Structure 1
Amino acid sequence: MDMPRRLALCALIALAPFAMSHAEKTPADNYPSRPIRLISPYEPGGGVDIMARLVARNLGTELGVAVVVENRPGAGGVVGTQALTAAVPDGYTLILDSPSPLVVAPYLMKKLNYDPQKDLEPISLIADVPAVLLVRNDSPIHTVGDLLALARKEPGKLTFSSSGLGGTAHLSAQLLKVLADVDMLHVPYKGTAPAIQAVLSGEVTMTFADMTAGLPFARNHQLRAVAVTTPKRTPALPNVPTVAETVPHYAASVWYGVLAPKGTPRPIIDKLNIALVKFVHTPDVNKMLVEEGAEPAGSSPEQFRAFLRRESERWGEVIRKSGLQPQ
């Protein structure tokens, strides 16, 4: 072999390890290198928004970059969730989402521009949060039994507020209507905060507020906590009974999870999952979630996807039995 060819061959051999190392690099190696946008698909002040800001702060600490919450409310979380599906799948746009746009909207909306089962990449569940049934302090409703007696005495006259069609308050009340066979009137508002304000002002009889948003009103005695939606009493309100103590088999909650657009590289999904699960189980964060009435979760992407399928089937059955029609 002549000298020029020998030198070229030696050069290729010398470069081979570098080439292999370069080829083995994944999209997650330099991720994240800039701020991450976390969509909160509801108005500020509600349970989803509160949880989104907790996630943003802790995820940013874990990853070493800013995680900025962007509120994109509308249509019960659908507007923000649809915005996620249109985002570039590079890990720099995520969402903190809840049941309404992920498992309820397909049953209640005639036109939905995304398929929750196909167009999103689940990353991890964050927490499961029950709701608390709130009424005014001067309300004659002191127990779930009082509520049911009034509802049967005057069908359709008791009113309950919600953050919109398919939201936590709406579904919690619908489940009660199905299991207890009572009729109550749904009054939707644009967010959890105005739904709670409607009870304070006397515009409506009651609301099922998710614990993250409703707990302060119960603890400060601004509203009366009648019951919680967990199967067992919650440490956050230990003296408040469950709905299930009066209506057997009743259980409802809102859960929060982080998702990315379809096509986000798996190494990035895995890196985000590790960071999310780590902070959820950090002792301080775990303790704070429990004190606020939440049950810390943390899951693999596969567990989250299977959970979404089960929740879709469960709430689909409730919606069918309640007679709700797509709009």
Structure 2
Amino acid sequence: MALAVAPCLAHRRRGAARGAGGLCRTRPLGPRRARRATGGRGALQRLAGHGRHRATRHARAGGRRRAARTPAHRRGRMSMTTRRVLLAAPLLAVPRLAAAQSWPAGRAITIIVPYAPGGGVDTAARMIAAGLERELSTGVQVLNRPGAGSQIGITEFLRSRPDGLTLTFAVLPTLITHYLDPSRRAPYTRADFRTVALHHISPVSFAVRSASPWRSIADLVEAARARPEAISVSDSGLMATPHLGVLMLQMAAGVRFNSIHFNGGAPSVTALLGGHVDVLAGGGSDVLGPMTEGQFRVLGTTGEQRDPLLPGVPTLREQGLDVVVASAGGILAPAGTPDEAVARVAEAVRAVMAAPAYDQAMRRFGLVPDWKGPAEYAAYWERDEARMRPIMAALARG
């Protein structure tokens, strides 16, 4: 029997195999196993993308060097970008950061988006990903993990290693409601995250089809008062920011709507376009396009001031209802992520967002970029959580 060397599954060294107690030893192999161990194509492929020991350091097999495959190339992992992102991506030619900085050293980055493809958060994440690829000189893939008002995707994200290579594009105060609502049993709190970079702040917009008889929030409230729970309102998920806007409007006006929850903004917009619901509660990116095309009429927004992209639309405060809530979308990392990784991503996001072409592309899409670094983003989160606590308590009391 020929003596061949089998690669150790932990150390990837030729001439060693995993032995008892974690030590390495050699062992004789039969001809068939020897061919597989010393030059088999399948063995090399199994090395690619190994989580604990990077395949890119151990890609030599059978005297030949093969390039390791990154997670971005795995079949079925990369979601299709939306048409708007494909059109906007060439505009993101911004200067790279200094190549001398070590992290991420060519390793691919994954951004988990806890919403369905095609909505405002998903598109913003993909536009940022396109810019980060150039800034960080590495691949950046976006994975959609929608469900439960983003709780499913956030939970999956927090299972990742705190090395900066897995991030999430999350939304406040939606994420805050997960752990302030005991019935949701969210396995995390603010302490489980590191703030990296805030991307935008967008108020909730209430829109109807252009043929709707309602022309103001007062018209909508009057109709809801006449027919409790009969008027249907679509939103991007249970306790997502648009749904919070609906609940706060109910409390302020003393009415009841029939909320219809979707796994993201895109399907909630489609529901209104198709006439399946009466009203849409969404972000500026959800309503700007259809409004410009004459399909939607926006009745009001929930910002403290008017949305700069919808200057002709009054706030709910202007219409006599004290309802103020906004989606704050940004990039988060797991707690324990090294300072170097957080600082690198934060600075890269700032550089991407500083490009005039990026700002213009985002505004056309319906979002106003509003970069905040790790410390300022963390302070914003603390303030938003403090503001949401009494609101959540009031909602719990009914």
**Aligned-partner residue type, residue 166 of structure 1:** M
Aligned mates of 1:30, 1:50 — CA distance in 2: 26
Aligned mates of 1:286, 1:85 — CA distance in 2: 30
- 1:72-221 pair list within 5 angstroms: 72-99=145-172, 101-108=174-181, 110-221=183-294
- 1:156-305 pair list within 5 angstroms: 156-305=229-378
115-124 or 150-159, which deviates more: 150-159
Deviation at 1:50, TM superposition (A): 1.0
Aligned to 2:392: 319
| Cα-to-partner distance string for 1:42-74 (whole Å, 9 max, x where unaligned) | 100111101111110112121111211111111
Aligned mates of 2:244, 2:174 — CA distance in 1: 13
Aligned mates of 1:240, 1:68 — CA distance in 2: 36
Q: 1:233 to 1:291 in 2, by over 3 A?
A: farther
Aligned mates of 1:160, 1:324 — CA distance in 2: 22
Note if contact 1:177-1:322 (Cα within 8 Å) is conserved in structure 2. Answer: no
Note if contact 1:45-1:213 (Cα within 8 Å) is conserved in structure 2. Answer: no
Aligned mates of 1:223, 1:128 — CA distance in 2: 22
Aligned mates of 1:78, 1:32 — CA distance in 2: 31
Note if contact 1:235-1:291 (Cα within 8 Å) is conserved in structure 2. Answer: no
Q: 1:244 to 1:189 in 2, by over 3 A?
A: same
Aligned to 2:379: 306
1:59 paired residue among 132, 141, 158: 132
Deviation at 1:319, TM superposition (A): 2.4
Aligned to 1:10: none
Aligned mates of 1:221, 1:32 — CA distance in 2: 48
Aligned mates of 1:141, 1:109 — CA distance in 2: 37
Q: 1:243 to 1:71 in 2, by over 3 A?
A: same
Question: Percent same amino acid at aligned positions?
Answer: 30
SS of the residue 1:214 aligns to: helix
- CA RMSD for the aligned pairs? 2.0
Aligned mates of 2:127, 2:320 — CA distance in 1: 34
Aligned mates of 1:113, 1:229 — CA distance in 2: 27
**Aligned-partner residue type, residue 106 of structure 2:** S
Deviation at 1:267, TM superposition (A): 1.2
| Cα-to-partner distance string for 1:189-211 (whole Å, 9 max, x where unaligned) | 23222222222233221011111
Deviation at 1:95, TM superposition (A): 0.7
113-122 or 285-294, which deviates more: 285-294
241-250 or 139-148, which deviates more: 241-250
Q: Looking at CA atoms only, which structure, 1 or 2, has the larger radius of gyration?
A: 2
Question: Moved runs in structure 1, 4+ residues, more than 4 A?
Answer: none
312-321 or 288-297, which deviates more: 288-297
Q: Which stretches in structure 1 are left out of the alignment for 5+ residues?
A: 1-27
258-267 or 224-233, which deviates more: 224-233
Q: TM-score, normalised by structure 1?
A: 0.84
- Structure number with greater CO (CA < 8 Å, separation at least 6) is 1
Aligned mates of 1:150, 1:243 — CA distance in 2: 17
- Identify the structure with the greater helix proportion: 1
Equivalenced residue count is 298
